[in-house]
Structure 1
Amino acid sequence: MHITLEADYAIRIVHCLTLHNTRADAKSIAETTGVTLRFSLKILRKLVAAGIIRSYKGTQGGYEIAKAPRDITLYDVITTIEGPLNISRCTHPNFNCTRPKEGSCQFQKVFIELSEDIKHRLQSINFEQMM
């Protein structure tokens, strides 16, 4: 399991906005974070839709953090980009297991517990701590 490049970039973008605590245009955000402008805009749209950041139109437009940094966790940003956290495909609710149906699968139980552990750990780290 790994965090995709898009999720990594989203973390960089949110971190950038929390550090500067001011409105910034997409070009400045892209340059500061080392993310291409096109990819930054794609990520910014997702973060705006999730309510993590706000966007403003016009000549004085740009982006800024919509919540206090302490109220934004790594989990929030990663799941905004990646969707629900599942360490294995067998923990996904729509997964159709091909293993024999005799008894319950111990692997699935372990993977569900690991996914929960990772979720709680990511929820415990907020962007105020990262400043």
Structure 2
Amino acid sequence: MLISREVDYGIRIVLLLCETSRKMDAKEISEISGVSIRFTLKILGKLTSSDLVESFRGAKGGYIAAKKPKEISVYDLIQILEGGIKVNGCFEDKTSCSTSKMALCGLRCKLDEVNFKIKEELRKITMDKLKNCSGL
């Protein structure tokens, strides 16, 4: 499994917001996190729509984390920014399976277990646990 650049940047942005007790505008978030302003705005849009980030308009506007760091997991960010985790294409679209007997596919059964365990472990990694690892 490869974490996409968008998820990597989303983690940076959310960590920054969790570590800051004040509103930050997109430009400041972009500069500190090292993410382009365009990508920052795209990610903030998705995070705001999902209620992980709260946005405020106007001269004193900006963004803040809408949840406590211990309530935001890496899995949450992957779910919001990528639509979840799928270790094989057959989990995404049943028509992508190369066998006509998909229900009997032993590989799919085992990969389903792996997929579940990965999700379970990523749910355990919350922003408060990443704070000490942050280079921000």
TM-score interval for Structure 1 and Structure 2 normalised by the shorter chain: over 0.9
Contact 1:15 1:127 in 2 (8 A): yes
TM-aligned CA distance change 1:27 to 1:4, over 3 Å: same
The total of aligned residue pairs comes to 130
TM-aligned CA distance change 1:60 to 1:87, over 3 Å: same
TM-score under structure 1 normalisation?
Answer: 0.94
The corresponding residue for 1:95 is 94
Q: Which structure 1 segments of 5+ residues have no match? A: none
TM-aligned CA distance change 1:58 to 1:99, over 3 Å: same
Alignment map for 1:71-82 (pairs within 5 Å): 71-82=71-82
The corresponding residue for 1:109 is 109
Deviation at 1:68, TM superposition (A): 0.9
Identity %: 37
Deviation at 1:112, TM superposition (A): 0.7
The corresponding residue for 2:128 is 128
Alignment map for 1:1-131 (pairs within 5 Å): 1-92=1-92, 94-96=93-95, 97-101=97-101, 104-131=104-131
The 2-side partners of 1:127 and 1:101 are apart by 41
Q: What is the root-mean-square deviation of aligned Cα atoms in Å? A: 1.3
More helix by share: 2
Q: Which structure 2 segments of 5+ residues have no match? A: 132-136
TM-score under structure 2 normalisation?
Answer: 0.90
